[in-house]
């Protein structure tokens, strides 16, 4: 009997968050200014999911991790030069826009379609991972929709921890209102888990791990299928960066306590 998990992590790239992200109107709808030229990083939430997956796989012999990424092929390749060094995984690349303005329904369809085509995937051992949100689009629905398409009905959102019991039961901590956790148990895979931040630090780069991953990375990138994202899913009335609110009051000789009180009042609104 097979042991271990088959963990599929859905995650892609977002522009490096230190960059100036300026919405512009592109020929096919809203976009970010110079988006293709900006350096990209793995979406932080997807990153947490990937690191948790690798950690889980390392603890359970026979497990395997796939990273299913929908993004521009050339950008994905650059991203892999850093991500592939962190943990072992096999890449399933889908060529298409990773913009925050794509329709999550279409994205989920593309991801689910790619997952269904993974030849060695054992769906009975499948843990579907992803981020509960994204740095480029905070709809928080993609993992759920991919799960639905794959027929996975046990879904956990905003998870921070998964423990595997001796009998294979999974105990999942999900974030709920007010800083509380909802603790759930599920008898085992298949299930979908959309991660919040998890508990693990980002693993350091290790080019030796990267070299191992490269054996499957490049072939995957080369044969990446183009995803049909029509951009017809919704209409954007307007797009803008959240405004920074800055109120400056020039005063002299104000005692510290009074300053602190002022700031607290301002925060309270």
Partner 1 sequence: MEKDGSPKGPPALLKTLPGDDVRQIMWRFADRFDYQMVVQSARAVARGPVARAVAKGARNSHEWTDDKAALLLEFDAAGITAAAVDPEYGGYIEGPKNFVLGLLAFELAWVDAGAGTSSMANTLALAPIHERGTPEQKALYMARSVPPQPGEDRKIWRGAFALTESIPYVGVDTGVLSGRVRVAEWNEGEEPILHVDKRGRFITNMGSASFVTAAVDSGDPRIKGSCMIILEETDPGTWDRGTPTKKLAHQLSSTRDPVFSLRVPAHRIIGGYTVKDGVIVPNYSHAEVIEAVFTRTRATPSIMTSAKLLSAIEPVIRYHRRRFRGAAGINEGTPRFDMGLQQKEDALHRLLDVWAAGEAGASLGFETSRLLDTYDDIEKAKSAVLATQGIAGGRAELKALRAREKDAAEFVALGANKNRSAAESARYDELAADPVLKFMITESLSSVLIPSAKLWNTGHGVNMMREAVSMMGGYGITEDCPGFLGTKWIDGQLEATYEGPEVVQRRQLSVTMSRPIFLQQFQTWIANLRDVAREHPSMGAGTLAAAMELWFWSREYLSTAKDAYGKDLYSNQRHGVTYPLADALAWLVATYHLVLDVLELKAKGPENPALAEGIDGLISFYTDLTHIHSATAAGEATKICAELVFGYRAESYPLDSTPANTDDDFKDVAPFIALRTKVDASLAGSKLAKDRASESLSHVMIPEVLDYPV
* Residues of this chain that bind partner 1 (CB under 8 A): 16, 18-20, 33-39, 72-75, 78, 81-82, 84-85, 204-208, 210-211, 214, 217-218
What Cα–Cα distance (Å) separates residue 83 from each residue in 44, 53, 55, 199, 229? 11, 14, 15, 18, 25
Compare residues 184 and 205 and give the one whose CB is closer to partner 1: 205
We find the least distance from the C-beta atom of residue 84 to partner 1, in angstroms, to be 7
Compare residues 189 and 210 and give the one whose CB is closer to partner 1: 210
Helix axes 142-149, 104-116, angle to 10 degrees: 40
We find the least distance from the C-beta atom of residue 133 to partner 1, in angstroms, to be 21
Return the C-alpha torsion angle 192, 196, 198, 203, nearest 10. 100
In 80-154, DSSP assigns E strands to 90-95, 126-131
Compare residues 41 and 164 and give the one whose CB is closer to partner 1: 41
We find the least distance from the C-beta atom of residue 17 to partner 1, in angstroms, to be 9
We find the least distance from the C-beta atom of residue 211 to partner 1, in angstroms, to be 6
Beta strand 191-195 with 155-164 is parallel
We find the least distance from the C-beta atom of residue 37 to partner 1, in angstroms, to be 4
Compare residues 15 and 130 and give the one whose CB is closer to partner 1: 15
Are 146 and 66 contacting, i.e. CB atoms less than 8 angstroms apart? no
Compare residues 207 and 234 and give the one whose CB is closer to partner 1: 207
Closest CA to 195 of 71, 56, 80: 56
């Amino acid at each position: 009997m097979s042991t271990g998990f088959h963990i599929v992590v859905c995650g892609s790239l977002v522009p490096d968050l230190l960059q100036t992200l300026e919405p512009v109107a592109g020929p096919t709808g809203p976009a970010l200014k110079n988006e293709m030229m900006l350096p990209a990083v793995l979406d932080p939430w997807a990153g947490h999911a990937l690191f948790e997956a690798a950690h889980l796989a390392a603890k359970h012999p026979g497990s395997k991790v796939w990273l299913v990424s929908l993004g521009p092929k050339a950008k994905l390749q650059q991203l892999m030069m850093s991500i592939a060094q962190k943990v072992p995984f096999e890449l399933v690349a889908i060529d298409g826009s990773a913009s925050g303005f794509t329709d999550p329904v279409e994205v989920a369809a593309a991801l689910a379609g790619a997952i269904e085509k993974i030849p060695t995937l054992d769906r009975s051992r499948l843990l579907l991972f992803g981020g509960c949100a994204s740095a480029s689009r905070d709809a928080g629905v993609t993992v759920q929709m991919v799960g639905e398409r794959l027929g996975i009905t046990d879904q956990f959102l905003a998870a921070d921890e998964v423990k595997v019991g001796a009998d294979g039961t999974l105990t999942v901590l999900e974030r709920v209102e007010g800083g509380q956790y909802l603790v759930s148990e599920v008898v085992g895979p298949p299930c979908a888990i959309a991660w919040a931040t998890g508990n693990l630090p980002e693993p350091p780069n290790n080019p030796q791990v990267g070299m191992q991953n490269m054996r499957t990375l490049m072939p995957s990138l080369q044969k990446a299928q183009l995803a049909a994202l029509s951009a017809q899913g919704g209409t954007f009335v307007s797009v803008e960066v959240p405004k920074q609110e800055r109120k400056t009051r020039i005063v002299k000789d104000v005692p510290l306590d009074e300053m602190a009180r002022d700031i607290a009042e301002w925060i309270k609104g």
